[in-house]
Structure 1
Amino acid sequence: MGATLSFGESNYGSQVAINHGQIINQVYQPNLDDKLRVVHGAAFDSYVDQHEDECFPGTRTDILRQIKDWASSPQGRCIFWLNGMAGTGKSTISRTIAQAFRMEGQLGASFFFQRGEGDRGNATRFFTTVANQLMAHIPELRPLIQKVLQNDPNISTKSLSEQFKQLILQPLGEIAQTVPQVQRVVVVVDALDECAPEQDVRMLLHLLPQIKKSPVIQIRIFVTSRPELPIRLGFRKISQVEYQDIILHNIPRPVIEHDMSIFIHHKLMTIREEHDLPSLWPDQKSIRALIQMAVPLFIFATTICRFIADHNWDPEERLNKVLEYQNLSLSSKLDGTYLPILDQLLIDVDGMTEKQELISDFQRIIGAIILLFEPLSLEALAKMLDIPESKICVRLKSLHSVLHIPENKTSPVRMLHLSFRDFLVDSNACDKTPFYVDENQTHQQLTTRCLAVCRSMRKNMCALSSDGIRRVDICPKAINHYLSPELQYACRYWAYHLIEIKDVDSMIDEALIFLQKHFLHWVEGMSLLGLISEVLGSLDHLQSAIPDHKHSGMSAFLQDAKRFIRKNRQIADEAPLQLYCAGLIFAPQKSIIRKEFESELPNWIYQVPEINKNWSAELQALESQSNSVHWVANSVHSVVSSVHSVALSPDGRILASSSGDQTVRLWDTATGGLQQTLEGHRVYLSHDEIVRLWDTATGALQQTLEGHSNTVDLVANSLHSVTFSPDGRILASGANDKTVRLWNTVTGGLQQTLEGHSGSVYSVAFSPDGRLLASGSRDLTVRLWNTATGGLQQTLEGHFELVSSVTFSPNGRLLASGSWDHIVQLWDTAIGGLQYTLKGHSGPVSSVAFSPDGRLLASGSYDSTVRLWDSTISGLQQTLEGHSDPVQSVAFSPNGQLLASGSWDYIVRLWDPATGDLQQTLEGHSDTVHLVAFSPDGGLLASSSWDHTIRLWNIATGGLQQTLKGHSTIISIAFSPDGRLLASSSGDKILRLWDTATGALQQTLKGHSSIVFSVAFSPDGRLLASGSSDETVRLWDTAIGGLQQTLEGHSSIVFSVAFSPDCRLLASGSSDKTVRLWDIPTGNLQATLDTEGTVTKLKFSRDGSNLITNLGTFGFQSRHIKHAANAFFKTPAISIEQGQWINMNGKNILWLHPEFRPSCSAIHGDSIALGHDSGRISFLRFRL
């Protein structure tokens, strides 16, 4: 926190800055564009692909002409699809036309997919990368995309459809007014078949044609791929008028032979010149043979020419070696491409032992290179495989024709073409070459090595100076310094190598031992790398690969780990070291992760709050805001729309929620990620008389069914809920007339009228077998009816507000009810008993829905969240003894040995902060208790309530001593130093002084023109200070009640006032974000401290050297402030920052989970008490 101090009577000024510590001697300041996560090697002209070939002059002329004509024609279709089998030259054509379009100023973006190249092998960052390049090509897009990043910094982690809509489609539509004329821009997408998984390929093919909607910027998309089935099916769903295609392997053979001849002639002539070979080399017969061997695979020509050109060998011998294969019976063209290269490795290798060693090394080294999910440098590869660099260099020496082996040992070694891997791992290859690579064995070896590398991880790997340091403030160079390339790889991919093993059982024990010791270290590493969103996916994949009955220990660990990550994903991404702080402190007592890593708890805390023993039923909380989604814990706040209805897909993987912003959103129940936003209805209840059907995979509008009559609108105000019976024969409706009606759907006739509710019926639901009907009403009850007879079976009572939603579990044994009391309740339908109460929402619950297997329950609320609950957990919400409603006020006794709390439940409770035990319950108020305060000797407690009374309690006996009446709404109370007087302020603009012994009113002080928010006695008790919304501070004589001074200077409400111990200074805190210091004898302003927020709590330390506020503690460098050049500095203390962080010594150290965020708080020395909306009180103590 920073602060600026300016003096009222001088020209001096000083800056007070809080030093949060430098990280590796520098603080990284990320650019806004850094939030747009891109794949840096994906563009056609990237450094990693700079040596890749383009089409040789004179070749592919007809294809290139067709592509250029398509791109320049006003009638050109949106997409051009070039498809062909492996090795036919698709990527070479892509690079050629990308270069040509760039030279002509038409290239907007390019993305070259490549399996085994990290994020180039998936679509996670496809749209962010394309958007980043489009910004550079079309400058008008930059401010629009940057605005998206400002509104939703996490857009890069959203679903593909959300990224496409916000980063591509909407910005292109918005620039229509700023771009003077129509522009045609080409986007090149190469090797779409190398994108995984198939669902993402399908999604891309669904989204990309929509780009034609852009009115001014005409985007043309050039796509290449192999003719894989998912891609063929994807294009079949695209209208033929939206794309044209060419199939490379169907091009007439003479055309291919012509192009191949030009290419091979040129390459061989170059080899002849470089090796000073005879002018007649090679003869035409050899050239013709090579051409026939190559057609139609350009990869053959390219690879074989590299093989012949290798300077370490004789080109003539190598050409002759290749031609030996022309008459062999080869099963595929790839055999002729790669067998000559592999067979030559064994030439001149004598002895079986040497051959076996060579083959073994090849399988370990090259097997790893072709199966890595991301290429590694020679240096990193050696450390990953635990093989000397020198040995790897020797084994790679003869493979330059199939691998890119850079001279720089820190650059990655990568395959030149994916077909090399395809050949080596083909099960038929084991009969053709001893160099066959066993995928299963190689993945097992890589898993073992990844785990070995990850065992070097420890807590705080980057040596951060504070547990609250944000990841975005850590210099990327520091992360790369402490997390080596091989460690980064192992962190990200060890689980994926493990699940590729067929006999996964053999690795489970090793993996479990690793997780038990390094789980948090691994998650910290993933967080530092910005990959926390991938952790849950890794855990899910692991769990799905492990049979529960064989590995119960691993299954239990993974289940607990998933709950831990769901709860802490947001803060781990923001501040990774909070995994060991907030993550462990707020984990349930019986959490496996908490038990395993308890020794990692920070040493600055020695009393943690009491936590439930088990995980609650709440699995996730999903919040939608401003077209973005974030965890409920997110600190970003803006206007949100309430959730009106929720439903789970049959497999439980997708949750649909509808809300007041007229959209339907689809969520991934495993990760909490937003998958789709469906827009179309004009109002959220579909009073637009239209039913719409959507494809949940793509978000496409499939059908629009119109036909509802206007009579729907006529009854919309009275009809709250309708539902069909399972067999579709009965329609039930609930309405304002307090009845439930059953209708015959065939005849339209009324079958039954169910009467019994005393209020409007808001929700109806049939049991799965159709025998029961549940109804929820404004009368606070749920009723169960027999649908055959219309008889009332059960009346379920327990809610405190209207019941807005009811639903049965799939087996009919449970009924869930959601209410405006913010609670979801689960009932036993057989006996009508309440089974569980689910608390967590902060607004009315509008909808509830079970998953098809009954394990998940979703609830939607007007608090704008959707929450997922595990309905199988018993003892769901273990409630610690305390208040039954939100806590409004807490205060420590002067010696810190007691804490008082006041609540909406009208009760005052006294607690032992050391143990958390309840000491006394003080009852008497008839409304919310919103203020509590101890007398200076700790013998009395004053409590103020919305019942317009102040009550004085004897702490020793718990007895009520006095009830003070006279105010309207009481705003502030304070004891005099000797405890004989109590001052109170009110919304009636008046201050009152009371005799605490007799309860008599001593003085009535009038003078403020608006609400008085704060009062404080001077240490000698002679003066009383008051702060008001009239922006003034007033000083009163407590003996006679006279006004002494009016201090003016604040520009907003004065929320807090405090005297210095020597009575010379008065401090006042205001919503104008200043603290002002006044000289009491003269009334002059001495200093103004600019703050980052409103100071609502203010007091001096006992020696007067510190000013303690809710925003932190500031110390005086001089006792006489007007003579100090630098009057304030931040001092060691604890405070609560923005209700989300506990701050110590000027640094955020502990993030508060949403359920532990305080409705009120009190600090006493090293202790903090937090009062919560749940009625709970939490205690924490710190080592200062």
Structure 2
Amino acid sequence: MSGAEVISLISGVIAIIEAAQKIYDAAADAKGQPHEFRQVAARLPLVIGLLNNAKAGVPRLNATEQEGLETILQSCEDKAESLEKMFRRVIRKDDDKWHERYKKAVVVVTKGKQVESLMGEILKDVQVIVCDKLKDITTSDQVKELGEAIKEMKETPSSLQEERGSVTQNHDGSGNNNANTGPGPMHTGTGDLYQNEIKGDAYIGSNISKQVNNHYNSPHDSENRSCLKDLRTTDPREDKRRIEETKGGLLKDSYRWILENSDYQQWRDDTLRPLLWIKGDPGKGKTMLLCGIIDELSRGKDIAALPSYFFCQATDSRLNNATAVLGGLIYLLIEQQPSLISHVQKRYDQGAKTPFEGVNGWAALSIVFEDILRDSKSQSGTYLIVDALDECDINLPQLLNLITQSASRFPSVKWVVSSRNKSDIEARLRLDRTQVRLSLELNREHVSRAVEIFIAFRVSQLPLLADDSTLQEMVRRGIYAKAAGTFLWVALVLKELVLVESWDVLEVLDEIPSGLKSLYHRMIQQIDQLQRKDPEFCRCVLSTMILAYRPLLLDELAALSGLPERISKSHDYVARVVRQCGSFLTIRGGTVFFIHQSAKDYLSEETQDKFFPDGSRAYHHMIFKRSLQVMSLVLERDVYNLKAPGITIDQVKKPDLDPLAIAGYSCLYWVDHLLECQKNDTVKDLKDSGSVNKYLHKYFLYWLEALSLLKSVSEGVIIVQKLEDLQLNESPDLHAFIHDIRRFVVSNRSIIEQAPLQVYCSALVFAPEKSIVRNTFKECIPSWIQTKPRVEADWSAMLQALEGHTGDVNSVAFSSDGKQIVSGSEDTTVRRWDAATGQQLLPALEGHTRNVSSVAFSPDGKQIVSGSGDTTIRRWDAATGQQLLPALEGHTSYVSSVAFSPNGKQIVSGSGDTTVRRWDAATGQQLLPALEGHTRNVSSVAFSPDGKQIVSGSWDTTIRRWDAATGQQLLTALEGHTSYVSSVAFSPDGKQIVSGSYDTTIRRWDAATGQQLLPALEGHTSDVNSVASLHVAENWL
């Protein structure tokens, strides 16, 4: 780390401490502030002064000494961030209810550290920096004051001393202290209890569970267990077991070589090399290598080791997307370190019921993931393993960016990833000297030896060769000669040889071609040579599996593949057909999977004519029609026989013979298959007299009940949205019905998610009188509801109330594509919302310390800008919610209005300090000069459509125009209003300016000359707060 980087890091800590002091100073006289907060705030200037001294002393240090400062500075920065977050969450100027906020902040923000303890640790870190690392830069008085401050914090009584049942752990020295902050015993497991009493990180836990710090937020609490369920689509541990079983078990001798490989050891031992990429062609054993690495890391001596992993699978829609990968990694980290659940719980504390679903998922999980890594970034032993990146079909670039960025920001966290030899993955991983690349092709000898060991072991297990060592050796040599270092080829060949008599084994082995593609071709030939209609049955099964969006249960496969009833009615018969499909498929736990991604790739690319002679779209239509048929046969009212409409989803017990086992896939994917059909087929199905309209009119409520039982109502909202997005101009009845369905689902989503049978009760009863859904299914309203409530005739114009802010909402804006809404509030937060569903996109954007008065999207929708009463302007990443530093500072009073230029390169702001200011949107630098001319508060600013002019409105009753490039005022001020100007805007062609005022009028102005265009628009009887030009033809305001 260079001297400049050290100075930058110190500056970052100072900025955080100064932000904390600013928060405190703004409410220093607030009622109810605890004495400890005042003590801590009183020591902040000391910290700032000493760190400024440290900055001046850095250039005196040599490179090694500068490098030695990094760890302690990062530790200090983490604690400073925690202190600033605590101040921001707890301190309010006009609210003395600090106690509940403080208790929550201690758990969520500081992991058990109270404010005096946190400040004590910051002071100790500063002591190490200025008295040990940087000697002779402080005066004796400063050293004395620092010592007294540390002693004061240590002797300060607990600021939450009235809390009972908590465990207090004292930690001397710098570094992070991970403690048990909840009621109950600290150690309940068996085995040795390790307590670290030296300087640095303190770990407490059991050598059996390998859990570090046991918060009262145990993941075994029902509430937290529910949070964990929302994180994952499958359990990665179960996926690992399934993969190992499918591949015949994990043989240590076949992966031992990688543990001794110099590249692997360099990655393992070098703290500056956080990323290992293992790459190789299909079937080379990458997945089993990673399974071996996981086992070795899990068996390590370090009780704090946290190996978390995920296996991508392109054939399963639950495992082929970046959101699932991230959720799986977080899930396993929390399972091993329960205290980390607090970072997940924060998302729920912000009011979201399903924070990790839909478009919200990736952004919310990214924040949780970063919080977790930051929480434990000073701990070694966190390993993140992702297999088969090339099989992550959805949002792979986002995942790769996250991996590279986290590897750079948290180098103590170690990554192992694997993929095929893909240039796009290599480019995005941006491999440099800090990452390690391990190519299986370049390690051909090691891989070949591993394959040889694998062959020897598996051949020795063949029952037909058990008593013939000579034949066993001949088979071993024969397989090895053709294997070409490909584990998958070996596994498939051995699977075939199991079914052969011993006297035929050498002849069959001689017939089997080398190479995966040739082997797959032979399998197809074998299917074609089956007797009677068996080849046709196999083609039905394989074509369905090729087009399915996830692995299928045997029941689902039987229903969707079109197998004759004599076969489809029996699990055993369907399984026998699956087994006749060569080794393309495998069955585990009643679910049918592709044996390997390369098998599906071969069938999709090489056999299109055989499986889809009329094209895949025609077969999508067959699956769509069969899905409607299956749902029509299975779905009914109260399909689980719950009887009581008040039964919640958590109380539902799935029947032993689950009727939805056959229809689950169809309920979730019928529309996806419809969208893939040929246009002619789709047109017929989407007519008013078509199959979709008929199905929805009869089964819609049953389908919605089934989605609730499948815990997939959120997916249902998206499915209905997909239907509404279709062009249905020639089907007015269907279009109106689907629109009504969407209003019905969005309005009742919450209650239907909680209680499936409420779809027939409260959802119907409270629907508007003219609702098509209500009138179609009015007979479904329970007879015991005698008196129905009075309801509106139609759905209200309000599509949905977006709830989440705790104070007045001051400003809202749409993104340019109309998919997101942003809002700013008196509660100091900025929030983003999905415009289609109304769901809040977490996290809330926190950083301002006073009311947010104005928000805007950049033209490309990638940034959000907000202005606040704290005098700052802040920029945010619209996708992740991360603040883009630095904050834009320069105004000396509240910021009332912000706007982006049409090209997104500039931001303009207006303020109570009477000035208009311009900023570079990329760097945050102010573009001088400030635009001065108004004599009172600037209330509104806007750019012209060509970006060349800025217009501003002020409480001085005038409107002013400015050259956006130079900042010069253009001609005279526009005068005519007799009271405050509250809002200004340009017309779409830039020829007119419109203004609204507290004088109750709206006025129009010629943008070129500044002349008022008469008459003034009168009609309002009170203040005009906002104006906008909406119509390109300038007919409407």
TM-score bracket, shorter-length normalisation: 0.5 to 0.7
- Cα distance in 1 for partners of 2:963, 2:280 equals 58
Shift of 1:526: 0.9
Unaligned runs of 5+ in 1: 1-27, 328-332, 626-639, 815-827, 830-1184
Q: Which residue of 2 aligns with 1:494?
A: 670
Cα deviations by residue, 1:241-295 (Å, 9 ceiling, x for unpaired): 66443344x42544544443343344334437646456145648x946x556543
- Cα distance in 2 for partners of 1:369, 1:745 equals 59
Alignment RMSD: 3.8
SS in 2 for 1:115: coil
Among 492, 511, 528, the residue aligned to 1:303: 492
Unaligned runs of 5+ in 2: 1-219, 853-865, 885-920
Asked which structure has the greater CA Rg, the reply is 1
Among 32, 36, 42, the residue aligned to 2:236: 42
Shift of 1:382: 3.4
Structure with bigger RCO (C-alpha 8 Å, 6+ apart):
1
8 Å CA contact 2:275–2:407 kept in 1: the answer is no
Q: Which residue of 2 aligns with 1:560?
A: 740
- Cα distance in 2 for partners of 1:475, 1:441 equals 38
Query: Normalising by structure 1, what TM-score?
Result: 0.57
Residues 549 and 725 of structure 1: is their aligned pair in 2 closer, same or farther, counting only changes over 3 Å? same
Match runs of 1:908-1057 below 5 Å: none
- Cα distance in 2 for partners of 1:319, 1:392 equals 31
Residues 401 and 612 of structure 1: is their aligned pair in 2 closer, same or farther, counting only changes over 3 Å? same
Among 46, 64, 69, the residue aligned to 2:265: 69
Aligned residues: 742
Q: Please say if 1:754 is aligned against 2:974.
A: yes
Q: Which residue of 2 aligns with 1:133?
A: 332
| Equivalent position amino acid for 1:251 in 2 | L
Q: Which residue of 1 aligns with 2:957?
A: 738
- Cα distance in 2 for partners of 1:695, 1:227 equals 32
Residues 319 and 156 of structure 1: is their aligned pair in 2 closer, same or farther, counting only changes over 3 Å? farther
Q: Which residue of 1 aligns with 2:314?
A: 115
Q: Please say if 1:392 is aligned against 2:392.
A: no
- Cα distance in 2 for partners of 1:193, 1:476 equals 38
Q: Please say if 1:792 is aligned against 2:1013.
A: yes
Cα deviations by residue, 1:770-823 (Å, 9 ceiling, x for unpaired): 122221222333333332442234544555653332222252557xxxxxxxxx
Q: Which residue of 2 aligns with 1:168?
A: 369
Q: Please say if 1:671 is aligned against 2:840.
A: no
8 Å CA contact 1:461–1:482 kept in 2: the answer is no
Cα deviations by residue, 1:1056-1094 (Å, 9 ceiling, x for unpaired): xxxxxxxxxxxxxxxxxxxxxxxxxxxxxxxxxxxxxxx
8 Å CA contact 2:551–2:593 kept in 1: the answer is yes
Match runs of 1:177-576 below 5 Å: 182-198=379-395, 201-209=396-404, 211=406, 218-227=412-421, 231-232=425-426, 234-236=428-430, 240=432, 243-248=435-440, 250-251=441-442, 253-271=444-462, 274=465, 276-277=467-468, 279-280=470-471, 283=474, 287=477, 290-291=479-480, 293-295=482-484, 297-308=486-497, 310=498, 312-314=499-501, 317=504, 320-321=507-508, 323-324=510-511, 326=513, 333-347=515-529, 349=531, 354=532, 357-379=533-555, 381-382=557-558, 385=561, 386=565, 387-389=568-570, 390-399=572-581, 401-406=583-588, 411-426=590-605, 428-430=606-608, 439-455=616-632, 456-472=634-650, 474-477=651-654, 483-503=659-679, 504-505=681-682, 507-508=685-686, 509-544=690-725, 546-576=726-756
| Equivalent position amino acid for 1:575 in 2 | A
| Equivalent position amino acid for 1:313 in 2 | V
Residues 419 and 78 of structure 1: is their aligned pair in 2 closer, same or farther, counting only changes over 3 Å? same
| Equivalent position amino acid for 2:371 in 1 | Q
- Cα distance in 1 for partners of 2:279, 2:1015 equals 65
SS in 2 for 1:157: coil
**Percent of counterpart pairs with the same letter?**
28
The farther-off stretch of 563-572 and 154-163 is 154-163
Cα deviations by residue, 1:1080-1139 (Å, 9 ceiling, x for unpaired): xxxxxxxxxxxxxxxxxxxxxxxxxxxxxxxxxxxxxxxxxxxxxxxxxxxxxxxxxxxx
- Cα distance in 1 for partners of 2:554, 2:934 equals 73
Residues 364 and 616 of structure 1: is their aligned pair in 2 closer, same or farther, counting only changes over 3 Å? same
Cα deviations by residue, 1:122-143 (Å, 9 ceiling, x for unpaired): 3444444333321232243245
8 Å CA contact 1:203–1:698 kept in 2: the answer is no
| Equivalent position amino acid for 2:675 in 1 | I
SS in 1 for 2:1026: strand
Residues 118 and 615 of structure 1: is their aligned pair in 2 closer, same or farther, counting only changes over 3 Å? same
The farther-off stretch of 73-82 and 793-802 is 793-802
- Cα distance in 1 for partners of 2:1030, 2:505 equals 72
Q: Which residue of 2 aligns with 1:1170?
A: none
Q: Which residue of 1 aligns with 2:984?
A: 764
Residues 326 and 551 of structure 1: is their aligned pair in 2 closer, same or farther, counting only changes over 3 Å? same
- Cα distance in 2 for partners of 1:714, 1:461 equals 71
- Cα distance in 2 for partners of 1:616, 1:732 equals 36
SS in 2 for 1:703: coil
Residues 144 and 722 of structure 1: is their aligned pair in 2 closer, same or farther, counting only changes over 3 Å? closer
Q: Which residue of 2 aligns with 1:811?
A: 1032
Q: Please say if 1:103 is aligned against 2:299.
A: yes
Residues 84 and 618 of structure 1: is their aligned pair in 2 closer, same or farther, counting only changes over 3 Å? farther
SS in 1 for 2:706: helix
| Equivalent position amino acid for 2:992 in 1 | L
Residues 271 and 460 of structure 1: is their aligned pair in 2 closer, same or farther, counting only changes over 3 Å? closer
- Cα distance in 2 for partners of 1:167, 1:240 equals 27
Residues 185 and 624 of structure 1: is their aligned pair in 2 closer, same or farther, counting only changes over 3 Å? same
SS in 1 for 2:333: helix
Cα deviations by residue, 1:307-328 (Å, 9 ceiling, x for unpaired): 22x3x3336646644644649x
Shift of 1:523: 1.4
Q: Please say if 1:780 is aligned against 2:980.
A: no
8 Å CA contact 1:35–1:156 kept in 2: the answer is no
The farther-off stretch of 184-193 and 364-373 is 364-373
Query: Normalising by structure 2, what TM-score?
Result: 0.64
SS in 1 for 2:817: coil
| Equivalent position amino acid for 2:369 in 1 | I
Shift of 1:534: 0.6
SS in 2 for 1:704: coil
8 Å CA contact 1:758–1:779 kept in 2: the answer is yes
Residues 808 and 89 of structure 1: is their aligned pair in 2 closer, same or farther, counting only changes over 3 Å? farther
SS in 1 for 2:296: helix
Shift of 1:101: 1.1
- Cα distance in 2 for partners of 1:621, 1:282 equals 74
SS in 1 for 2:236: coil
Q: Please say if 1:657 is aligned against 2:836.
A: no
- Cα distance in 1 for partners of 2:922, 2:761 equals 50
Shift of 1:690: 7.3
SS in 1 for 2:816: coil
| Equivalent position amino acid for 1:367 in 2 | S
Q: Please say if 1:596 is aligned against 2:776.
A: yes
Residues 751 and 64 of structure 1: is their aligned pair in 2 closer, same or farther, counting only changes over 3 Å? farther
| Equivalent position amino acid for 1:668 in 2 | D
Q: Which residue of 1 aligns with 2:811?
A: 645
SS in 1 for 2:413: strand
8 Å CA contact 2:649–2:753 kept in 1: the answer is yes
Among 940, 948, 955, the residue aligned to 1:721: 940
Shift of 1:96: 1.3
Residues 694 and 225 of structure 1: is their aligned pair in 2 closer, same or farther, counting only changes over 3 Å? farther
| Equivalent position amino acid for 2:334 in 1 | M
| Equivalent position amino acid for 1:672 in 2 | G
Shift of 1:94: 1.6
Shift of 1:764: 0.7
| Equivalent position amino acid for 2:454 in 1 | F
Cα deviations by residue, 1:52-99 (Å, 9 ceiling, x for unpaired): 443661557247735753553352434333333433322122211111
Shift of 1:763: 1.2
SS in 1 for 2:1027: strand
